[in-house]
Structure 1
Amino acid sequence: MTRTFVYSISAEESGTKITDYLRNHGYSRHILTCLKHTDDTVLVNGLGVYMNYVLQPDDRLTIVIPEETPSEHIVPVNLPFPVVYEDEDLMIINKPSDMPIHPSIHNYENTLANAAAWYFGQKGENFVYRCINRLDRDTTGLLILAKNRLSGALLSRMSAERKIHRQYLAIATGEIPKCGTIDAPIARACDSAILRQVDFVHGERAITHYRLLKFDGFYSLVLLQLETGRTHQIRVHMNHIGHPLPGDYLYNPDYRLIKRQALHSCRLTFCHPISGKPMDFTAPIPDDFKTFACGCVELHQYADNG
């Protein structure tokens, strides 16, 4: 969607070219190039100006960020799309299980992108799919969609700089220690495009913090905090320390307790990319976790104790 931003220039900010001012506010090179080559997107006091205009005290700088070409190849499909939060810049979605994030050869009409295309189509709005944090197909819970170019660029940078904090609930096989940190690099497994493994020679650093919430004699209910975001990180790390997640078809295909990997993105905290306001979201315990989690007092306080 097209988004308009208005900035009032203070005396301290004056004397700066628009290009530099916007770069200092997180505008990417791609966005700056788009503004430079699109008419009526940069105005000062209501008049169009070039990007090398030097801002003066009390100038009113208006930036109109045009939308990119809509995601035409994503088929709108009426699928579950639980919206937790939405404003002009971003959305928080509570993704169901058995739903991939992106379309692929074998997943053309059953993804979160298809559901998003349907949602925006029903509202009569242009749709460009910008998913900021990834979840595996069978992992439930919270993720972020950016609604315009600027929020997408800023959120992507925040993710790369580890300023988006994620907590997960998982069920792990056996009794894990009360708390700890797994610091073990992860790499693609040999001869596999999908499998990942701990690899201290070729792997990229991966850090997962965990805390035991409940042990029932067979399984542990675990609260996890990601410091990095490697593919399959929690699944690989928990398998590495001898406590794989039940229902994980890649690393522990034991379906006696649950029919999919027992992993849920339960909390997201970050600062809003535009306003800077602290944002804190939690997702309800999924139905296939509830029986196991019943009676865990601390579980109902994880949002406050995380």
Structure 2
Amino acid sequence: MEYSIVLPTSQKKMTLRELLEKEWLVPRKVRHFLRVRKNVWRNHQPINFHEFVYANDIITLQIEEEDYNYQNVTAGSKENITVLFEDEHLVVVNKPVGIKTHPNQPEETGTLLNDLTAYLAEQDERPYVVHRLDKETSGAILFAKNPFVLPILGRLLEEKKIYRRYQAVVWGKLTQDCTIDKKIGRNRHDHRKQIIDERHGKTAITHVKVHQAHQKTSEIYCTLATGRTHQIRVHLASLGHPVVGDPLYQNKKGARLALHAYEMNLLHPFTQEQIQITAQPGLW
């Protein structure tokens, strides 16, 4: 696998070792192989790890596939994939409602990852999971297209530098914007569910903005300051405004879980391009 990356104009002067370790989060084992194999070039010339790199330099790396572990995934149907953004390093697709993000068992099929595997196979590429959406949730979801960029995207996610905004329709008339700050933990009596657990749970913060309130339902936007399992669903249910169609956290019937990952914004880790994605058609 060969990658050529043009360092952005904002790139600070640093050694190649610092770039690989601190900026690109290349694992120690892979850095070792790059060094001993002399598989790194700057502007098409060999470069040592102690040498400096600068803005607009072209850094080329040759990485052996066996340097990274990859769990083989059965190819599904590429026709199920709707691409919202794609380049050589990452891909954002519009996840349909009702399918899982990835298999839990090697032989499992019918997930988004299976279908994306089939789509990328035509380019001789593979998908790597960065984050997930619940089976009942639709919308924009990000995958890495190579193991090189995967830890960088993971760090951006942890540092809340990948902005995601959700649409939701909830039961009841919710008229005011609010921030829900309630800890979430696992429901010991039902492994499928999470609960509000201020004593033993993990910090969870959801920002809610009302789009339009009706007599029986309300259309809202939610942004996450944390990323707990079922966070939006648990938080809204705790207010007495569960998401319409939620099969776990309310008893009323709905056609589907009315939760959609509508917007995603991120700064591309290599090009520094601001990527803004909207997953149409959304809920309204």
TM-score (norm 2): 0.87
Separation of aligned partners in 1, 2:279 and 2:9: 39
Cα 1:150–1:181 change in 2 (3 A) is: same
Letter in 2 for 1:55: F
**Which residue, out of 181, 184, 192, partners 2:182?**
184
Separation of aligned partners in 2, 1:57 and 1:208: 40
Count how many residue pairs are aligned between Structure 1 and Structure 2: 279
Separation of aligned partners in 1, 2:155 and 2:100: 23
Q: Give secondary structure in 1 for the equivalent of 2:52.
A: coil
Cα 1:34–1:97 change in 2 (3 A) is: farther
Which residue is 1:298 aligned to? Answer: none
Letter in 1 for 2:267: C
Once the two structures are TM-superposed, the CA of residue 50 in structure 1 deviates from its matched residue by 4.4
**Which residue, out of 220, 231, 234, partners 1:233?**
231
Equivalent positions of 1:239-258 (< 5 A) are 239-255=237-253, 257-258=254-255
Separation of aligned partners in 1, 2:107 and 2:148: 29
Q: Which runs of 5+ in 1 are unaligned?
A: 294-306
**Which residue, out of 52, 63, 77, partners 1:55?**
52
1:127-173 superposed Cα distances (whole Å, 9 cap, x missing partner): 1x322221001100001111223322211101000111110011101
Cα 1:67–1:175 change in 2 (3 A) is: farther
Equivalent positions of 1:101-112 (< 5 A) are 101-105=101-105, 108-112=108-112
Once the two structures are TM-superposed, the CA of residue 186 in structure 1 deviates from its matched residue by 0.7
Separation of aligned partners in 2, 1:163 and 1:33: 29
Structure 2 residue 282 is matched with structure 1 residue 283: no
Q: Give secondary structure in 2 for the equivalent of 1:150.
A: coil
Cα 1:56–1:182 change in 2 (3 A) is: closer
Q: Give secondary structure in 2 for the equivalent of 1:149.
A: coil
**Which residue, out of 137, 143, 148, partners 1:150?**
148
Aligned partners of 1:198 and 1:236 also within 8 Å: yes
Separation of aligned partners in 2, 1:134 and 1:195: 16
Letter in 1 for 2:216: F
Letter in 2 for 1:136: D
Cα 1:204–1:9 change in 2 (3 A) is: closer
Which residue is 1:170 aligned to? Answer: 168
Which residue is 2:35 aligned to? Answer: 36
Which residue is 1:76 aligned to? Answer: 75
TM-score (norm 1): 0.81
Which residue is 1:119 aligned to? Answer: 119
Separation of aligned partners in 2, 1:276 and 1:22: 17
Separation of aligned partners in 1, 2:9 and 2:163: 32
Letter in 1 for 2:277: F
Once the two structures are TM-superposed, the CA of residue 272 in structure 1 deviates from its matched residue by 1.0
